[in-house]
Amino acid sequence: MAKVIRIHETGGPEVLRVETEQVGAPGRGEVRLRQEAVGINAVDALVRQGLYPMPLPAIPGFEAAGVIDAVGEGVSDFAPGDRVAYFFAEGGYATEKRTSIAPLVRLPDDISTETAGAFLAKGLTAWMGLRALSSVKSGDKVLVLGASGSVGSILSRWAKALGAEVIGVAGSASKLDKVRAGATHALLATDPDAAGKIRDIAPDGVDVVYDFVGAATFGLAAAAIRDGGTIAAIGQASGQPAGAADLAQRGVVIRGGGTPQYVNGQTVTTATEALWDVIRSGILADLPIVRYPFDEIARAHADLAARRLEGIPVAIV
């Protein structure tokens, strides 16, 4: 029997219930996956809260990595024993899963399922920010709002490796050191002089703002961006920002969207290979992985909501 985590109603972490179910043999064009590492992402909390609507009952989770243990009729590209991952397929909170082969990414030998489960969706979101919503180059000055978070901490390190001068902003004072480790400069979002300090570093304003926070830091983004610059509005950890009209007047481009919009088809290979190379380069090696037993995914949701994640969260089966 497989275990799944299902919600029958929306609400707090307590609505995530561990249940068992029979997965069965894979159908035509499907494989059955023994999942070893399940990604825990901010969007999963939106599903749990009903802010990303799914018909109930639902199994949250969109990301996992594991080993194929059976293939259905018509599947010739994959075989039992293959190690694979996916970053956007519904029903990720499961120990075993039947899935079509469409979302599967084959894992290179040197990338563990734990690394993939922790980094794939978040790393591809960072790639989207750096390569699709903007095109960061050496010497650019960039501001990362939410640099202490999972995606922000990956993106900060990646942007720095590309030669950018990175101003990282933390929401919590206790995470300033973490931001300092991945950025060129570290600031606190609640610092009343944060905008002034950014202008000291970038007198004309920054070239790109990567915003993972939304409402709480929108004023800082608007104050920091140079005329004609780009705001990559990727996340809204503090809620949706209001009012962008005068930014348009200043020629500031605001670009948003979801990772699957930008990482699909041929770009999946380009983006995942870029991510594996970044992991191999060691620039993400200082980011701790926080492991939760599969049955305790609700605890990970509580930690995420309370902003007390100490690193990149992943559930281990």
Ligand X SMILES: NC(=O)c1ccc[n+]([C@@H]2O[C@H](COP(=O)([O-])OP(=O)(O)OC[C@H]3O[C@@H](n4cnc5c(N)ncnc54)[C@H](OP(=O)(O)O)[C@@H]3O)[C@@H](O)[C@H]2O)c1
State the residues that interact with ligand X by CB under 6 A. 41-43, 122, 125, 146, 148-152, 170-172, 175, 189, 212-213, 216-217, 234-238, 258-259, 304, 307, 309
Query: For the chain, where are the E strands, in sequence order?
Result: 2-6, 17-21, 30-39, 64-71, 83-86, 96-100, 105-106, 141-145, 165-170, 185-188, 206-211, 225-233, 253-256, 289-293, 312-316
Q: Nearer Cβ to ligand X, position 83 or 122?
A: 122
Four-CA torsion 93, 96, 102, 107, nearest 10 degrees: 90
Q: Nearer Cβ to ligand X, position 75 or 151?
A: 151
Q: Residue 130: which residues within 8 A CB-CB, separation 6 or more?
A: 136, 155, 158, 159, 162
Residue 202 near residue 167 (C-beta atoms within 8 A): yes
- Beta bridge partners of residue 147, listed in sequence order: none
Q: How far is the CB of 91 from ligand X (least distance, A)?
A: 18
Residue 280 near residue 3 (C-beta atoms within 8 A): no
For residue 154, count other CB atoms closer than 10 A to its CB: 29
Q: How far is the CB of 69 from ligand X (least distance, A)?
A: 29
For the chain, the first-to-last Cα distance in angstroms comes to 13
Q: How far is the CB of 195 from ligand X (least distance, A)?
A: 14
Residue 115 near residue 176 (C-beta atoms within 8 A): no
Q: Nearer Cβ to ligand X, position 100 or 172?
A: 172
Pairing mode of beta strands 206-211, 225-233: parallel
Q: Nearer Cβ to ligand X, position 68 or 231?
A: 231
Q: Nearer Cβ to ligand X, position 117 or 149?
A: 149
Q: Nearer Cβ to ligand X, position 84 or 128?
A: 128
Amino acid (1-letter code) at residue 204: D
Q: Nearer Cβ to ligand X, position 95 or 238?
A: 238
Instruction: Report d(CA 103, CA 86) in Å as an integer.
Output: 6
Which token pair is 64?
């996992």
Q: Nearer Cβ to ligand X, position 42 or 70?
A: 42
Q: How far is the CB of 43 from ligand X (least distance, A)?
A: 5
**Distances from the Cα of 188 to the Cα of 32, 86, 149, 220, 301, angstroms:** 45, 34, 13, 11, 24
Residue 206 near residue 141 (C-beta atoms within 8 A): yes
Q: How far is the CB of 143 from ligand X (least distance, A)?
A: 13
Q: Residue 15: which residues within 8 A CB-CB, separation 6 or more?
A: 7, 8, 9, 48
Q: Nearer Cβ to ligand X, position 103 or 146?
A: 146
Q: How far is the CB of 40 from ligand X (least distance, A)?
A: 9
Q: How far is the CB of 182 from ligand X (least distance, A)?
A: 11
Q: How far is the CB of 103 from ligand X (least distance, A)?
A: 15
Q: How far is the CB of 162 from ligand X (least distance, A)?
A: 19
